[in-house]
Chains A and B, each alone.
Chain A
Amino acid sequence: MKHDIELKVNGDTVTLQVDSRRTLLEVLREQLGLTGTKEMCNKGDCGGCTVTLDGNAVLSCMMLAVEANGKEVVTIEGLAGEGYRLHPLQKAFVERGAIQCGYCSPGFIMSAKALLDKNPHPNGDQIREAISNNICRCTGYVQIIEAIESAALEMGGAK
């Protein structure tokens, strides 16, 4: 069964037709070409597919696209500013060596973004809790946590 849906993705309103069984992840990657959002475990364990939906971190692989109708989605592609200017979180991940193969990074960054939007000054425990659904198999988590801390400082300082 096909459904006509309307989404706001990274600020743009898009209308598209989706099949009942398509996940939000499949629609983002395959219909909208937004391949920054990754598929890894496809069952909720790894967090690689994390995007924000109306500001909250969700797993796009565990969500039917038809149920995102009328909602606002932000993916990793929606973070950078004008002229390739990286978001403070993206910059901090690069500078702090929080990236190795990079496959998990979009999910971590979106989890961190959802946290910082609600809580601009998180403590270490709050950061660890916010990324508890995300798995990295290369760097370990120390640099990732440091990157989020330093992005929080930079973003707080900019205000």
Chain B
Amino acid sequence: MTYYRRVPEFDYLAPKSIGEVFSLLGRYKGDATLFAGGTIALHQMKERIGARPYVIGLKGVSGLDALAVGKDGVLTVGAMVLLQRIADSAEVQGGWPLLATVCRLLGTPQIRNMGTIGGNVAIRFSTAETLPALIALRAQVRIAAAGGETVVPVENLYREMKSDNLLTEFLLPALPKGVRMGYRKFAVREHFDYATVGAAVVLDMDDGKTCKDITIGLGGVTLPTMRAKGAEEIMKGRTVTDDIIAKAAEAAAEGGHMGSDVMFSAGYKSKVLKTMVERAIKEAVSD
């Protein structure tokens, strides 16, 4: 891979509103890149991956950086909210601690001070660490397009998001009282490296024994297989035992599709994923 020190030439555009973003995208059809925190985008430009002659900076666009709980209890997280701000937010820590934990464990201080949640999701890497948590939390995402906007579950983003779409915000429903959460990531260096695989679990139990409801998001797997529905079905309505957790973890690892990478074979990752799911569920049970 050739790596250039200098960034290729481009014009930097700084729209102030979502409307202006779309008029620029329309004017420079296919020639403009959206630029949020830039931690991936600038790197790709240096590597000449999809470099385009126009860069649309999103930092000055109003309406993309809300972090607030509405009257209906829904948490709105604007696409431009920095990962560190989510990790530090008392509201997120209180109501959606899974998301705060994921953001705190992701990357490094520098990356969290620069990277946005919108960029983490929009890139749609299988290793994007907020995705499994958002899926487990049944988050929705608002996608703006030139002709209007839609709101879809984050788990469907991989097929709903088109090029030149702008993610504007994430909507996280209030969780039932007493709901439990667990998160496990496997990374070569836990602080710094992307999670090779990971598991995010939201669990609702009746009388501390029966699984009333569960959602499981998997990290490091292909986007269409990030929600471990098969494993969820195994758990739902059943008494939670070590045995049933092991069965669910097995199903989750089977359902999650992944490839080999420079460090680990797909077979190894699948084994580790099973363990991560198992531990994340157990963590949720004792949460």
Residues of chain B lying within 8 A (CB to CB) of residue A39: 5
Which of A3, A22, A64, A115 is B38 in contact with, Cβ under 8 Å?
A64
- Please state if A63 and B114 are interface contacts (CB–CB under 8 Å): yes
Q: A21-B6, A130-B109, A133-B109 are in contact. Are A62 and B12 (CB under 8 A)?
A: no
Cβ of A111 under 8 Å from chain B: yes
Instruction: Give the complex CA separation of A3 and B46 in angstroms.
Output: 20
Residues of chain B lying within 8 A (CB to CB) of residue A20: 9-12, 55
Interface residues of A in 1-45 (CB under 8 A from B): 1, 3, 19-23, 39, 42-44
Cβ of B71 under 8 Å from chain A: no
Q: A42-B5, A132-B192, A133-B192 are in contact. Are A23 and B42 (CB under 8 A)?
A: yes
Q: A42-B5, A42-B46 are in contact. Are A62 and B38 (CB under 8 A)?
A: yes
- Please state if B11 and A57 are interface contacts (CB–CB under 8 Å): no
Residues of chain B lying within 8 A (CB to CB) of residue A44: 39, 43, 110-111
Which of A23, A59, A128 is B7 in contact with, Cβ under 8 Å?
A23
Q: Mark A119-131, 1 if CB is under 8 A from B, else 0.
A: 0000000001110
Residues of chain A lying within 8 A (CB to CB) of residue B238: none
Residues of chain B lying within 8 A (CB to CB) of residue A59: 39, 110-111, 114
Looking at chain A's contact residues, the main secondary structure is mixed
- Please state if B192 and A21 are interface contacts (CB–CB under 8 Å): no
Cβ of B84 under 8 Å from chain A: yes
Q: Chain B's nearest CB lies how many Å from the CB of A30?
A: 11
Cβ of A143 under 8 Å from chain B: no
Cβ of B191 under 8 Å from chain A: yes
Interface residues of B in 31-65 (CB under 8 A from A): 35, 38-39, 42-43, 46, 55, 57, 59
Cβ of A66 under 8 Å from chain B: yes
Residues of chain A lying within 8 A (CB to CB) of residue B150: none
Q: A132-B108, A132-B191 are in contact. Are A62 and B43 (CB under 8 A)?
A: yes
Could you list some 6 contacts between A and B, CB below 8 A?
Answer: A21-B6, A21-B12, A57-B109, A63-B38, A63-B42, A114-B109
Residues of chain A lying within 8 A (CB to CB) of residue B27: none
Cβ of B17 under 8 Å from chain A: no
- Please state if B12 and A3 are interface contacts (CB–CB under 8 Å): yes
Instruction: Give the complex CA separation of A142 and B227 in angstroms.
Output: 41
Seen from chain A, the residues whose Cβ lies within 8 Å of a Cβ on chain B are 1, 3, 19-23, 39, 42-44, 47, 50, 53, 56-59, 62-64, 66-67, 111, 114-115, 128-130, 132-133
Residues of chain A lying within 8 A (CB to CB) of residue B55: 20, 64
Cβ of B89 under 8 Å from chain A: no
Q: A42-B46, A67-B38 are in contact. Are A1 and B110 (CB under 8 A)?
A: no
Residues of chain A lying within 8 A (CB to CB) of residue B59: 67
Which residue in chain B gives the minimum CB-CB distance to A21? B7
- Please state if A62 and B42 are interface contacts (CB–CB under 8 Å): yes
Instruction: Give the complex CA separation of A67 and B55 in angstroms.
Output: 12
Which residue in chain A gives the minimum CB-CB distance to B84? A56
Which residue in chain A gives the minimum CB-CB distance to B189? A132
Across the A-B interface, the 6 shortest Cβ-Cβ residue pairs:
A133-B108, A20-B12, A132-B191, A21-B7, A1-B11, A56-B113
Cβ of B3 under 8 Å from chain A: yes
- Please state if A21 and B110 are interface contacts (CB–CB under 8 Å): no
Which of B9, B43, B113 is A43 in contact with, Cβ under 8 Å?
B43
Cβ of B8 under 8 Å from chain A: yes
Interface residues of B in 1-28 (CB under 8 A from A): 3, 5-12, 14
Instruction: Give the complex CA separation of A124 and B96 in angstroms.
Output: 27
> Of A42, A47, A58, A64, which is in contact with the most chain B CB atoms at under 10 Å from its CB?
A64
Which residue in chain B gives the minimum CB-CB distance to A51? B110
